[in-house]
Amino acid sequence: MVLVVRRARIGPAERDVRIEGDRIVEVGSVRRLPGEAELDARHGEVIAGLHDHHLHLRALVAAGRSVMVGPPLVRDPAGFAVALSAAAAARPPGEWVRAVGYHESVAGDLDRKVLDGVVADRPVRVQHRSGALWVCNSAGLGALGADAVTAPGIERDDHGQPTGRLWRMDAWLAGRLGASGSDDAGAEGLAALSATAAAAGVTGWTDATPGRSDGEARTLADAVANGLVSQRLHLMVAPTTSVGVVEDLEGVAGVTAGPVKFLLDDTDLPALDDLAGWIGRAHGTARAVAVHCVTRVQLVLTIAALEVAGTVPGDRIEHGAVIPAEVLPRLAGWGLTVVTQPNFVDERGDQYLAEVSPADLPDLWRGRSLVDAGVGVAAGTDAPFGSPDPWLAVRAAVRRRTSSGKSLGAAEAVDPHVALQWWGGSASVPGRSRRIEPGAPADLVVLGAPLLAALEGDGPVPVQATVIAGEIVPPH
Ligand SMILES: [Zn+2]
């Protein structure tokens, strides 16, 4: 299959791009042979396709069937009650109400009693926007059979009763809810996500879900195999994922296995030697690691562990929400990639300004200082915890403004081309942006306007066409 993209603006010049199979083979003045497909870029700027280097697909699909109960949409106890009750009333009796995006600034810390006071006649579960916590009402705990289960994540009160708070219990929840089909990554939902993402210029996804089950990984890979998902799919793996499963996943065209994901929680941090040992074991199986670091202590621990275990190409820091300046040279020297979420500057910035101590603000969601220090940077949306729209994140990296328009870390703002490069890396080398050149994968986006003009304002960025592995998606 050959595709010739005509009249494409690449940097300052207008060129044609010849694609054979899934590769770019020629850039310049290209002759199209009879029978070869053509895509007229109409002088639109052509950029490397956007790869979202950190998101959670299954949760994103589920979020589409959930009610949002956090800021800025819901801000107070009354709004919370209205949102949950309305969601309950809109569903058949007995069906779960799944709510997401909760933050304690809305109605304080939740437990089963608080939720029972709002909706008692059906199961309800509310996810904290950090992703670390689900809170169930009594009917929900009953439906899950949580009473009879002993697990450290199921919080209990002094009388041994579950409080409703389930910490880091996603895998368990998925297992419990699986039979009822209420929480699976529905194929239709994935197909819809894929189409929306392609329309925004997204050509690849890295799913960073920790502890994803093998069955779930297969479901995602199947969605690529049978064409429901057009994007390239890079799946981080769990420390326990077997070599056999990794081989199965990589046997699917368009699917690759990523680094081993480690999640850290400030309340339950591993010992340094343990973390170093886990990282060493992952490296020993020829896999890089991706360590979740949203706080200063998580980053400091991770750096100490890497000091012991050593680093390999491909090791990455997920989020890097707080990075003290003194560790920048080390991150750069080790060749680590920080996979950042500039969208949170916009989406959560007002909350940061209200809550984060001023001393920490300069370390928050660094951008420019990472680049200046020579640290590899890539970006992901962390959807559904952030908006899945990559352009919101590109704009936030450039503008450094909160959703209410306040400035946050203006010194960390980057040039639009730099902000875009963070989405231009391949799945396995996220910190180095691909170029439109012979030999590069044929993943590209034809914009409807020059990049700088396209980024102005807050409207949708015009995307004329998205090409993934040499195919126009959706087909013309
Ligand atoms: Zn995440």
Alpha helices in 5-108 (DSSP H): 57-63, 77-89, 104-107
Query: What spacing in Å lies between the alpha carbon of 197 and ligand 1's midpoint?
Result: 18
Residue 397 C-alpha to ligand 1 middle, in angstroms?
A: 18
Question: Which pTM was predicted?
Answer: 0.89
Tens of pLDDT, residues 360-406:
899 999 999 999 999 999 999 999 999 999 999 999 999 999 999 99
Q: How far is the CA of 320 from the centre of ligand 1 (A)?
A: 11
Distance 19 CA to ligand 1 centre (A): 34
* Residue 10 CA to ligand 1 centre (angstroms): 33
Residue 34 Cα to ligand 1 midpoint, Å, equals: 47
Query: Residues spanned by CATH 2.30.40.10 within the chain?
Result: 1-48+437-476
From-to residues of CATH 3.10.310.70 in the chain: 71-128+133-167
pLDDT digits (tens, 9 = 90+) for 271-310: 999 999 999 999 999 999 999 999 999 999 999 999 999 9
Q: How far is the CA of 24 from the centre of ligand 1 (A)?
A: 32
Q: With the CA atoms of 421, 426, 431 and 437 taken in that order, what torsion angle do they form, in degrees rounded to the nearest 10?
A: -60
Give the Å distance between the CA of 209 and the centre of ligand 1. Answer: 7
Whole-number Å distance between alpha carbons of 335 and 324 = 17
Q: Are strands 463-468 and 471-473 parallel, antiparallel or unpaired?
A: antiparallel
Tell me the H-state helices in 109-213: 112-116, 138-144, 170-178, 187-199
102 Cα to the center of ligand 1, angstroms: 16
Distance (angstroms) between ligand 1 centre and the Cα of 461 equals 25
Confidence of residue 317 (pLDDT cuts 50, 70, 90): very high
Residue 44: closest CA among 458, 454, 353: 454
Q: In this structure, how many other beta carbons lie within 10 angstroms of the beta carbon of residue 103?
A: 16
| Residue 133 to residue 370: CA distance in whole angstroms | 31
pLDDT for position 183: 46
390 C-alpha to ligand 1 centroid (Å): 15
475 pLDDT higher than 90: no
Average pLDDT on 116-130 reads 95
Q: What is the pLDDT of residue 182?
A: 47
Looking at residue 176, its pLDDT comes to 87
Token pair of 191 as six digits: 């197909």
Distance 393 CA to ligand 1 centre (A): 15
Which tokens hold the place of 68? Answer: 């949002």
For residue 202, the surrounding DSSP H or E stretch is strand 202-207
Residue 460 CA to ligand 1 centre (angstroms):
24
* DSSP helix/strand/coil, 219: helix
Q: What separation in Å is there between the alpha carbon of 318 and the centre of ligand 1?
A: 8
Report whether pLDDT(173) > 50: yes
* Residue 181 pLDDT exceeds 80: no
Q: What is the mean pLDDT of the chain?
A: 94
| Ligand 1: centre distance to CA 58 (Å) | 12
Q: Where does CATH 3.20.20.140 sit in the chain? A: 50-57+184-433
Contact, 439 vs 432, CB < 8 A? no
- Tell how far the Cα of 20 is from the centroid of ligand 1, in angstroms: 35
Distance 55 CA to ligand 1 centre (A): 6
Which CATH topology does 50-57+184-433 take? Answer: TIM Barrel (3.20.20)
In this structure, which topology does domain 71-128+133-167 adopt according to CATH?
Answer: Diaminopimelate Epimerase; Chain A, domain 1 (3.10.310)
**Is the domain 1-48+437-476 a CATH 3.90.1720.10 member?**
no
The pLDDT > 70 percentage for the chain reads 98
For residue 210, report the distance from its CA to the centre of ligand 1, in Å.
Answer: 8
Q: How far is the CA of 115 from the centre of ligand 1 (A)?
A: 26
